[in-house]
Amino acid sequence: MVGRLAAVIGSPVAHSLSPAIHRAGFAAAGVDWSYVAFEVADGQAGAALDAMRTLGIAGLSVTMPHKAAVAERVDRLDPAARALRSVNTVSWDGEHLVGSSTDGAGFVASLDDAGVEVDGARVAVIGAGGAARSLVDALARAGAIDITVLNRTAERAESAAALAPVASPGGVGDLSGADIVVNATSVGMGDDRHVPCDPALLREGQVVADLVYHPIRTRWLAAACERGCRTVDGLGMLVHQAALQQRIWLGDDAVIDTVAMRAAAEAVLTARA
Protein backbone atom coordinates (compact mmCIF):
# COMPACT_ATOMS: atom_id res chain seq x y z
CA MET A 1 0.00 0.00 0.00
CA VAL A 2 1.66 3.21 -1.14
CA GLY A 3 0.58 6.79 -0.74
CA ARG A 4 -2.95 6.23 0.58
CA LEU A 5 -5.01 8.88 2.38
CA ALA A 6 -7.50 8.49 5.21
CA ALA A 7 -9.29 11.25 7.06
CA VAL A 8 -11.75 12.13 9.79
CA ILE A 9 -14.80 14.26 9.00
CA GLY A 10 -16.79 16.15 11.61
CA SER A 11 -17.71 19.56 12.98
CA PRO A 12 -15.99 20.71 15.05
CA VAL A 13 -13.00 18.46 14.31
CA ALA A 14 -9.90 20.52 15.16
CA HIS A 15 -9.79 18.99 18.65
CA SER A 16 -9.85 15.40 17.36
CA LEU A 17 -7.17 12.99 18.56
CA SER A 18 -7.75 10.79 15.52
CA PRO A 19 -4.92 12.24 13.38
CA ALA A 20 -2.32 11.58 16.10
CA ILE A 21 -3.68 8.11 16.84
CA HIS A 22 -3.93 6.97 13.23
CA ARG A 23 -0.61 8.43 12.13
CA ALA A 24 1.09 6.54 14.96
CA GLY A 25 -0.76 3.39 13.96
CA PHE A 26 0.19 3.70 10.30
CA ALA A 27 3.82 4.32 11.22
CA ALA A 28 3.87 1.24 13.45
CA ALA A 29 2.26 -0.82 10.69
CA GLY A 30 4.94 0.32 8.23
CA VAL A 31 2.45 1.53 5.60
CA ASP A 32 2.62 4.69 3.51
CA TRP A 33 -0.69 6.12 4.64
CA SER A 34 -1.44 9.71 5.61
CA TYR A 35 -4.29 10.90 7.83
CA VAL A 36 -5.87 14.36 8.01
CA ALA A 37 -8.89 16.07 9.55
CA PHE A 38 -11.54 17.71 7.38
CA GLU A 39 -14.00 20.18 8.86
CA VAL A 40 -17.31 19.22 7.23
CA ALA A 41 -20.40 21.25 8.15
CA ASP A 42 -23.61 19.64 9.29
CA GLY A 43 -25.65 18.56 6.27
CA GLN A 44 -22.62 18.02 4.03
CA ALA A 45 -21.96 14.34 4.71
CA GLY A 46 -23.13 13.39 1.22
CA ALA A 47 -20.69 15.84 -0.33
CA ALA A 48 -17.88 14.35 1.77
CA LEU A 49 -18.68 10.87 0.48
CA ASP A 50 -18.76 12.22 -3.08
CA ALA A 51 -15.30 13.65 -2.47
CA MET A 52 -14.15 10.30 -1.12
CA ARG A 53 -15.25 8.68 -4.37
CA THR A 54 -13.82 11.40 -6.61
CA LEU A 55 -10.46 11.74 -4.87
CA GLY A 56 -9.98 8.07 -4.07
CA ILE A 57 -9.68 8.61 -0.32
CA ALA A 58 -8.97 5.16 1.11
CA GLY A 59 -10.86 5.44 4.39
CA LEU A 60 -12.92 7.80 6.49
CA SER A 61 -13.46 8.13 10.20
CA VAL A 62 -16.81 9.78 10.91
CA THR A 63 -17.63 11.80 14.00
CA MET A 64 -20.45 14.12 15.02
CA PRO A 65 -22.69 15.31 13.50
CA HIS A 66 -22.42 12.97 10.50
CA LYS A 67 -22.77 9.41 11.77
CA ALA A 68 -26.47 8.99 10.95
CA ALA A 69 -26.27 10.86 7.64
CA VAL A 70 -23.36 8.73 6.44
CA ALA A 71 -25.29 5.58 7.37
CA GLU A 72 -28.00 6.68 4.95
CA ARG A 73 -25.62 7.36 2.07
CA VAL A 74 -23.11 4.49 1.91
CA ASP A 75 -23.72 1.48 -0.32
CA ARG A 76 -23.73 -1.12 2.44
CA LEU A 77 -23.73 -1.30 6.25
CA ASP A 78 -22.07 -3.83 8.54
CA PRO A 79 -24.35 -5.50 11.14
CA ALA A 80 -23.58 -3.08 13.97
CA ALA A 81 -23.98 0.00 11.78
CA ARG A 82 -27.24 -1.39 10.41
CA ALA A 83 -28.64 -1.96 13.90
CA LEU A 84 -27.54 1.46 15.14
CA ARG A 85 -28.17 3.37 11.89
CA SER A 86 -24.86 5.01 12.69
CA VAL A 87 -21.45 4.87 10.97
CA ASN A 88 -18.04 5.87 12.29
CA THR A 89 -15.96 4.15 9.59
CA VAL A 90 -16.15 4.11 5.79
CA SER A 91 -14.13 1.69 3.69
CA TRP A 92 -14.06 0.34 0.16
CA ASP A 93 -15.25 -3.04 -1.09
CA GLY A 94 -14.49 -2.91 -4.78
CA GLU A 95 -16.44 0.07 -6.09
CA HIS A 96 -18.79 0.18 -3.09
CA LEU A 97 -18.56 2.20 0.11
CA VAL A 98 -19.15 0.21 3.27
CA GLY A 99 -20.24 1.84 6.53
CA SER A 100 -19.14 0.25 9.80
CA SER A 101 -19.47 1.04 13.48
CA THR A 102 -16.40 0.23 15.58
CA ASP A 103 -17.32 2.31 18.64
CA GLY A 104 -19.00 -0.40 20.70
CA ALA A 105 -16.59 -3.11 19.61
CA GLY A 106 -13.76 -0.74 20.50
CA PHE A 107 -15.11 -0.47 24.03
CA VAL A 108 -15.35 -4.25 24.35
CA ALA A 109 -11.77 -4.51 23.07
CA SER A 110 -10.63 -1.96 25.65
CA LEU A 111 -12.17 -4.09 28.40
CA ASP A 112 -10.45 -7.19 27.01
CA ASP A 113 -7.16 -5.28 26.92
CA ALA A 114 -7.69 -4.51 30.62
CA GLY A 115 -8.39 -8.18 31.37
CA VAL A 116 -12.14 -7.70 31.87
CA GLU A 117 -14.39 -10.48 30.57
CA VAL A 118 -17.69 -9.39 29.00
CA ASP A 119 -19.06 -12.84 28.19
CA GLY A 120 -21.46 -13.75 31.00
CA ALA A 121 -21.25 -10.33 32.65
CA ARG A 122 -24.04 -8.12 33.96
CA VAL A 123 -23.55 -4.53 32.81
CA ALA A 124 -25.10 -1.21 33.77
CA VAL A 125 -24.82 1.53 31.14
CA ILE A 126 -25.42 5.11 32.31
CA GLY A 127 -26.76 7.16 29.41
CA ALA A 128 -28.85 6.44 26.31
CA GLY A 129 -27.24 8.56 23.58
CA GLY A 130 -25.27 7.39 20.59
CA ALA A 131 -22.31 6.14 22.60
CA ALA A 132 -24.52 4.23 25.02
CA ARG A 133 -26.46 2.65 22.16
CA SER A 134 -23.25 1.41 20.56
CA LEU A 135 -22.28 -0.17 23.89
CA VAL A 136 -25.61 -1.94 24.31
CA ASP A 137 -25.30 -3.46 20.85
CA ALA A 138 -21.64 -4.50 21.23
CA LEU A 139 -21.93 -5.80 24.79
CA ALA A 140 -24.83 -8.03 23.78
CA ARG A 141 -22.87 -9.33 20.77
CA ALA A 142 -19.93 -10.05 23.11
CA GLY A 143 -22.05 -12.23 25.41
CA ALA A 144 -23.21 -9.99 28.26
CA ILE A 145 -26.16 -11.76 29.92
CA ASP A 146 -27.86 -8.65 31.29
CA ILE A 147 -27.59 -4.99 30.31
CA THR A 148 -29.40 -2.29 32.27
CA VAL A 149 -29.74 1.15 30.69
CA LEU A 150 -30.08 4.10 33.07
CA ASN A 151 -31.19 7.46 31.76
CA ARG A 152 -33.13 10.47 33.02
CA THR A 153 -35.57 10.09 30.11
CA ALA A 154 -37.39 6.77 30.26
CA GLU A 155 -38.25 6.75 26.55
CA ARG A 156 -34.60 7.07 25.54
CA ALA A 157 -33.60 4.30 27.94
CA GLU A 158 -36.27 2.06 26.45
CA SER A 159 -35.11 2.87 22.92
CA ALA A 160 -31.49 2.00 23.71
CA ALA A 161 -32.50 -1.17 25.54
CA ALA A 162 -34.55 -2.28 22.53
CA LEU A 163 -31.28 -2.87 20.64
CA ALA A 164 -30.63 -6.15 22.49
CA PRO A 165 -32.85 -8.90 23.95
CA VAL A 166 -30.75 -8.98 27.12
CA ALA A 167 -31.11 -5.24 27.73
CA SER A 168 -33.77 -3.39 29.70
CA PRO A 169 -34.26 0.09 31.20
CA GLY A 170 -33.61 0.42 34.91
CA GLY A 171 -32.76 2.74 37.78
CA VAL A 172 -29.85 3.56 40.06
CA GLY A 173 -30.91 0.74 42.35
CA ASP A 174 -29.70 -1.68 39.70
CA LEU A 175 -26.08 -0.50 39.86
CA SER A 176 -25.01 -2.68 42.76
CA GLY A 177 -25.97 -5.87 40.93
CA ALA A 178 -23.81 -5.12 37.90
CA ASP A 179 -20.37 -6.59 37.33
CA ILE A 180 -19.45 -3.69 35.03
CA VAL A 181 -20.73 -0.10 35.32
CA VAL A 182 -20.12 2.31 32.44
CA ASN A 183 -20.55 6.06 32.23
CA ALA A 184 -21.58 6.61 28.61
CA THR A 185 -22.46 10.28 29.10
CA SER A 186 -20.29 13.41 28.82
CA VAL A 187 -20.62 14.13 32.54
CA GLY A 188 -17.16 14.80 33.97
CA MET A 189 -15.59 15.99 30.73
CA GLY A 190 -13.07 18.83 30.87
CA ASP A 191 -13.72 21.15 33.79
CA ASP A 192 -17.05 19.55 34.67
CA ARG A 193 -16.75 18.52 38.33
CA HIS A 194 -19.93 16.44 38.37
CA VAL A 195 -20.16 12.63 38.41
CA PRO A 196 -22.81 10.57 36.58
CA CYS A 197 -24.20 9.10 39.80
CA ASP A 198 -23.49 8.89 43.52
CA PRO A 199 -20.30 6.78 43.96
CA ALA A 200 -21.84 5.37 47.15
CA LEU A 201 -24.03 3.24 44.86
CA LEU A 202 -20.96 1.36 43.68
CA ARG A 203 -19.59 -1.66 45.48
CA GLU A 204 -16.14 -3.10 45.99
CA GLY A 205 -15.01 -5.43 43.22
CA GLN A 206 -17.02 -3.90 40.39
CA VAL A 207 -15.39 -2.83 37.14
CA VAL A 208 -16.17 0.85 36.56
CA ALA A 209 -15.50 2.38 33.14
CA ASP A 210 -15.79 5.91 31.82
CA LEU A 211 -16.03 6.88 28.14
CA VAL A 212 -14.77 10.38 29.00
CA TYR A 213 -11.02 10.61 28.27
CA HIS A 214 -10.37 14.28 28.97
CA PRO A 215 -9.26 14.12 31.68
CA ILE A 216 -8.12 10.50 31.51
CA ARG A 217 -8.54 10.12 35.27
CA THR A 218 -12.03 11.50 35.82
CA ARG A 219 -13.57 12.25 39.21
CA TRP A 220 -15.91 9.31 38.54
CA LEU A 221 -12.99 6.87 38.17
CA ALA A 222 -11.16 8.33 41.17
CA ALA A 223 -14.26 7.94 43.33
CA ALA A 224 -14.81 4.39 42.06
CA CYS A 225 -11.24 3.51 42.95
CA GLU A 226 -11.81 4.78 46.49
CA ARG A 227 -14.81 2.44 46.69
CA GLY A 228 -12.57 -0.52 45.88
CA CYS A 229 -13.59 -0.79 42.22
CA ARG A 230 -11.38 -1.65 39.30
CA THR A 231 -11.35 1.17 36.73
CA VAL A 232 -11.02 1.43 32.94
CA ASP A 233 -10.49 4.86 31.37
CA GLY A 234 -12.13 6.21 28.23
CA LEU A 235 -8.98 6.54 26.16
CA GLY A 236 -8.93 2.77 25.70
CA MET A 237 -12.19 2.82 23.75
CA LEU A 238 -10.96 5.67 21.53
CA VAL A 239 -7.74 3.85 20.72
CA HIS A 240 -9.33 0.45 20.14
CA GLN A 241 -12.11 1.74 17.91
CA ALA A 242 -9.37 3.39 15.82
CA ALA A 243 -7.42 0.13 15.79
CA LEU A 244 -10.49 -1.66 14.46
CA GLN A 245 -10.80 1.00 11.77
CA GLN A 246 -7.22 0.33 10.71
CA ARG A 247 -7.93 -3.40 10.64
CA ILE A 248 -10.78 -2.71 8.20
CA TRP A 249 -8.67 -0.42 6.00
CA LEU A 250 -5.38 -2.33 6.04
CA GLY A 251 -6.58 -5.92 6.23
CA ASP A 252 -6.23 -8.78 8.68
CA ASP A 253 -2.48 -9.20 8.13
CA ALA A 254 -1.61 -5.64 9.16
CA VAL A 255 0.31 -4.92 12.33
CA ILE A 256 -1.95 -2.91 14.65
CA ASP A 257 -0.02 -1.36 17.54
CA THR A 258 -2.47 -0.04 20.12
CA VAL A 259 0.37 0.78 22.51
CA ALA A 260 1.89 3.23 20.02
CA MET A 261 -1.55 4.64 19.22
CA ARG A 262 -2.37 5.25 22.88
CA ALA A 263 1.03 6.83 23.53
CA ALA A 264 0.40 9.29 20.70
CA ALA A 265 -3.00 10.22 22.13
CA GLU A 266 -1.58 10.67 25.62
CA ALA A 267 1.16 12.91 24.25
CA VAL A 268 -1.40 15.22 22.64
CA LEU A 269 -3.53 15.33 25.80
CA THR A 270 -0.45 16.13 27.89
CA ALA A 271 0.56 18.92 25.53
CA ARG A 272 -2.92 20.42 25.67
CA ALA A 273 -2.98 20.29 29.44
Catalytic machinery residues? 67
Q: Are 44 and 14 in contact (CB under 8 A)?
A: no
Maximal CA-CA distance, the chain? 55
- Buried/exposed code over 7-36 (b: 16+ C-beta within 10 A; e: otherwise): bbbbbebeebbbbbbbbbbbebbebebebe
- C-alpha span between 69 and 37 (Å, rounded): 18
Rg (CA), the chain: 18
- In 3D space, the residue among 165, 167, 164, 166 whose CA is nearest the CA of residue 149 turns out to be 167
